[in-house]
Amino acid sequence: MFDSANLDHRIDKATFQREERKLREELLHAQYDIKENGTFPVVILIAGVEGAGKGETVNLLNEWMDPRHIRTHAFPDLSDEERERPLMWRYWRALPPKGSIGIFFGAWHTEPIVLRVQGTISRRELGQYTGEIQRLEKMLIEEGVLLVKFWFHLSKDQQKKRLKALEKDPKTAWRVTDLEWKYFKRYDKFVKVCEPFLRETSTGEAPWIVVPGMDPHYRALTVGRHLLTAMRARLHPKAQKANRTAMPPVQPLLPPADRLNVLRALKLDRDMTRKSYARELDKWQGRLNLLTRDKRYKRLSVVTVFEGNDAAGKGGAIRRVTGALDARSYHNVSVAAPTQEERAQPYLWRFWRHIPRRGRITIFDRSWYGRVLVERVEKFCSEADWMRAYSEINDFEQQLADHNVVLVKFWLAISKQEQYKRFKARELVSFKRFKITEEDWRNRKKWDAYEIAVSEMVDRTSTAMAPWTLVEANNKYHARIKVLKTMVAAIESGLKRMDGKP
Amino acid sequence: MFDSANLDHRIDKATFQREERKLREELLHAQYDIKENGTFPVVILIAGVEGAGKGETVNLLNEWMDPRHIRTHAFPDLSDEERERPLMWRYWRALPPKGSIGIFFGAWHTEPIVLRVQGTISRRELGQYTGEIQRLEKMLIEEGVLLVKFWFHLSKDQQKKRLKALEKDPKTAWRVTDLEWKYFKRYDKFVKVCEPFLRETSTGEAPWIVVPGMDPHYRALTVGRHLLTAMRARLHPKAQKANRTAMPPVQPLLPPADRLNVLRALKLDRDMTRKSYARELDKWQGRLNLLTRDKRYKRLSVVTVFEGNDAAGKGGAIRRVTGALDARSYHNVSVAAPTQEERAQPYLWRFWRHIPRRGRITIFDRSWYGRVLVERVEKFCSEADWMRAYSEINDFEQQLADHNVVLVKFWLAISKQEQYKRFKARELVSFKRFKITEEDWRNRKKWDAYEIAVSEMVDRTSTAMAPWTLVEANNKYHARIKVLKTMVAAIESGLKRMDGKP
């Protein structure tokens, strides 16, 4: 893996200066072309051994290109904000929008490698991390991100020489601390861990580029030329086109042969009188409120998703939930068409940004499931896009669940007749008229297509860690109480799981 | 995940018979179209819970279509032959050629699930298996395989009912043994393991289709219709075209900025006199022979790869190795253009078939590295194909290494001048004239392109478990002794690793 990098690569100063002049001009052009093109972002990963010139290279990239459109992110120890959310949250937060460049100085690769070198995790456990990273990078690439990964390498002798040289020079001596020498002692172990890791996370679309770090000229030219070639290749009209045709072909899904699905199996009419509703509401709102004041509650967070037919009563149900909560402890996110800022990011970005800290609740009124519902039915995205969304969503929710996020997902279901009744009623009541538009009537015509989409969504994303609850909602009272009860049960079992955990 | 499948799906007999008639005719047509088309094979995976009608469905598929072009493989306990090779060998062996259909009754998914249900491996260890399966299926799909995955499901109640019903009927009672009831007791654990596993191995290109197993009519139609749709979609001209354009675009690799690479860094002229060669040859052939008679040797196997410039002396070096071996213990594989049978399979298939049993050596004269050497340089395959080959080859070699296969890979390097001398000499000696053709002279013109390809091959596939040894071969004596020494060292350390292993 490091055979070439261990060689004594050198570029003399004159050659470097001549090459550098051309290179920086071309890099700047490519950067502006990407900005103008505006269809993809560039993420540059900088990783590798200590003392191999990572920092110098990042500075150089910022010097060569227009730094106003580059954002460099280092990822030091986790902040409070970050610790209280899944690990990947910090990287999602840092993703550059389409048309711009993000330099990630250390990223999702760092932690697993460090943990393995320390011996905290086993080789097989590292394999689990590797799988997660492969899926994350696959998703980024499928979302159009140009991912360029540089691994800075020094042989053991070279690293020793570099550290000594840095130590000797008063201007750089501060950079060599005991920590650097501690790392040096682990050199062999480090390389032994990194080599298979690099191998398994190298793909045709995002190969690791191993950069020999000893000679500053050689190292700089290597990074610059690779980056330029990758950007140019991606700007090429052929690549731009290729990226839009999905491959390999997606396998079509079919509705059940007997047309029976989870929605049709529901008994939508459930009785509940106003009187018993009032009693139950009191009871379950009280229990919910009590739970959020449990000590253990501060160590988990809650994400609630409300999806459902138009006019199924999502808003009403949400109000009954928030009515039981301290206003400082929850956050309502109403999902509509994406903003310009959100359109410039991978699909899940706009949901990641709303993931709550510990001890808090986020309530999504419509959610990331839009991709496999409205976007699928209305053909706002390609079949390949919504098909891959199932596994991306499952990965996303797995990360939440792994981080003690209690996920509660509701589908509020009403019958086609009930919907008609409610639409008509809304048209009659002036203060509710804003709630019924032409679009609602149009959606209604696609009832069957939505039914199939919902049923497949439940089949492919209802999981033990994040189950869907289907709510029979022809009777609003019944629906609201079922929502509250389900939330209470989910949070209770979340709290129980916290027992004995730090 | 199993929400829909838990519902009480039913198809009445009359509907079934009517539908079945249409379906089997269309399936037969699709099967023949695939045969005629001849560009891709179909692999049908049949998995899931006991008693859910897997066997009946496999029989039905064979009844509906032309069984002469279907091969059904069950994978019972490992045979001797299989146990002595990496786990995946049995599945590679069973892959159907392009144009035909293979039904895998249980496959690579079975073992990890069983091990996890038994508690033999941890959740994270299962994650490692999952990663391997994801990479395997990705590779199959990129090689053009149509992979259709059926998961047969029963709810706990349904499984109990099915087992009781089978037990009661004298014709089927034999199928329900203590083992089936033992499995039943683990139902909850089984489902708990399978659900995340299915989720993580479901992709847009090869989603798991969950088949409710209770009603035989419903189950049969579900499988038949999905299979038909998948085959038809794949035969569609658009899909055929999409499959040939790589997406997303591959990132181009660049040669080093200073043109220094592992080959140029070699000192090709090494001295060795005829006399000291004779002495050394005796010594190292003797040691090699002794090692192959070590007790521990019976528990590992050896795969040796010889690559090198034309006329670098591969043949001569191989003969010095085999000269030290018992003729019954090794197998020579000379890799030339693939046969028709081999062309109908994924790229690595023709190498998998030659993987030796324990205690044996396979010597490859040229190898799977052809894809990143001659096929790359001569453009016999696309850039995307050879770029993904690096990770596929690394995965392949990892599987060999994990199974106690000692891998020794040689690149025999001579200078351009030395090659010219040897070519000319061959033309003069009548019995060597067959060894020099027009093609050799043509290849020579692409010297630089080959140099880059070799250097990148070493960088991307020289790993701790399977390192490349570059052999300076201007002097044949030196080259042959270095080959023998390297093999001795590799086998010695392989034997040491066997100490304490069963």
Contacts of A244 (CB under 8 A, 6+ apart): none
Residue A472's DSSP bridge partners are A413
Contacts of B440 (CB under 8 A, 6+ apart): B310, B311, B423
Contacts of A220 in chain B (CB under 8 A): none
Residue A368's DSSP bridge partners are none
Chain A residue closest in CA terms to B12: A258
What whole-number distance in Å separates Cα of residue A12 and Cα of residue A217? Answer: 7
Can you read off the two tokens belonging to residue B28?
Answer: 């037969």
* CB A36, CB B490: distance < 8 Å: no
Contacts of B384 (CB under 8 A, 6+ apart): A204, B246, B250
ipTM score of complex: 0.78
Can you read off the two tokens belonging to residue B21?
Answer: 């008639």
CB atoms within 10 A of CB B33: 14
Q: Which helix (H) or strand (E) holds A493?
A: helix A476-498
Residue B262's Cβ-count burial label (10 Å; 0-12, 13-18, 19+) is buried
- β-pairing, B146-153 vs B70-74, is unpaired
* CB B105, CB B73: distance < 8 Å: yes
- Helices A383-402 and A123-142, packing angle to 10 deg: 140
Residue A141's Cβ-count burial label (10 Å; 0-12, 13-18, 19+) is buried
Nearest to B249, CA basis, from A390, A110, A39, A70:
A39
Contacts of B3 in chain A (CB under 8 A): 262, 458-459, 462, 468
Cβ of residue A178 closer than 8 Å to a chain B Cβ: no
What is the nearest CA distance from A326 to chain B, expressed in angstroms?
34
Per-residue pLDDT of chain B (502 residues; tens, 9 = 90+): 888 888 889 999 999 999 999 999 999 999 999 999 999 999 999 999 888 899 999 999 999 999 888 999 988 888 888 888 888 899 998 999 999 999 999 899 988 998 999 899 888 888 888 888 988 998 899 888 999 999 999 999 999 988 898 889 888 888 888 888 888 888 999 999 998 899 889 888 889 999 999 999 999 999 999 999 999 999 988 776 655 444 556 787 888 888 888 999 899 999 999 999 999 999 999 999 999 999 999 999 999 999 999 999 999 999 999 999 988 889 999 998 888 888 889 999 999 989 999 999 999 999 999 999 999 999 998 888 898 899 899 999 999 998 999 999 999 999 999 999 999 988 887 777 777 788 888 888 899 999 999 999 999 999 888 999 999 999 999 999 999 999 999 999 999 998 877 6
Query: Tokens 């002049």 belong to which residue?
Result: A21
Cβ of residue A382 closer than 8 Å to a chain B Cβ: no
Chain A residue closest in CA terms to B205: A250
Give the global pTM.
0.83
Query: What amino acid occupies position B248?
Result: P
Domains of chain A: 13-242 (3.40.50.300), 274-498 (3.40.50.300)
Contacts of A176 (CB under 8 A, 6+ apart): A51, A163, A166, A167
Query: What amino acid occupies position B392?
Result: E
pLDDT (0 to 100) of residue B241: 63
Residue A330's DSSP bridge partners are A361
Can you read off the two tokens belonging to residue B390?
Answer: 């690096």
Distances (CA, A) of A227 to A15, A67, A277: 19, 16, 64
* CB A151, CB A208: distance < 8 Å: yes
pLDDT (0 to 100) of residue B242: 58
State the sign of the Cα–Cα–Cα–Cα dihedral B211, B216, B220, B221.
Answer: negative
Question: Distance between terminal CA atoms of chain A?
Answer: 40
Cβ of residue A196 closer than 8 Å to a chain B Cβ: yes
Contacts of A353 (CB under 8 A, 6+ apart): A92, A93
Can you read off the two tokens belonging to residue A223?
Answer: 């990074």
pLDDT along chain A (502 residues), means of 10: 86 94 95 93 94 91 91 86 87 92 93 90 86 89 92 92 88 83 88 90 89 93 94 84 56 82 91 95 96 92 96 94 90 89 90 92 96 94 89 91 94 95 86 78 90 93 92 97 97 90 66
Contacts of B246 in chain A (CB under 8 A): 242, 247
Residue A146's DSSP bridge partners are A42
CB atoms within 10 A of CB A67: 13
CB atoms within 10 A of CB A231: 22
HSE-CB at B497 with a 13 A cutoff on CA atoms is 16
Angle formed at CA B441 by CA B439 and CA B446, multiple of 5 degrees = 95
What whole-number distance in Å separates Cα of residue B33 and Cα of residue B132? Answer: 32
Can you read off the two tokens belonging to residue B156?
Answer: 């706990």
Contacts of B253 in chain A (CB under 8 A): 207, 209
A251 vs B128, B207, B243: nearest CB: B207
What whole-number distance in Å separates Cα of residue B473 and Cα of residue B478? Answer: 7
Contacts of A225 in chain B (CB under 8 A): 254, 257
What whole-number distance in Å separates Cα of residue B10 and Cα of residue B4? Answer: 12
Residues in chain A: 502
DSSP state of A292: T
Chain A residue closest in CA terms to B265: A7
Query: What amino acid occupies position A328?
Result: R
State the sign of the Cα–Cα–Cα–Cα dihedral B415, B417, B418, B424.
Answer: positive
What whole-number distance in Å separates Cα of residue B263 and Cα of residue B451? Answer: 7
* CB B500, CB B317: distance < 8 Å: no
Residue B331's DSSP bridge partners are B362
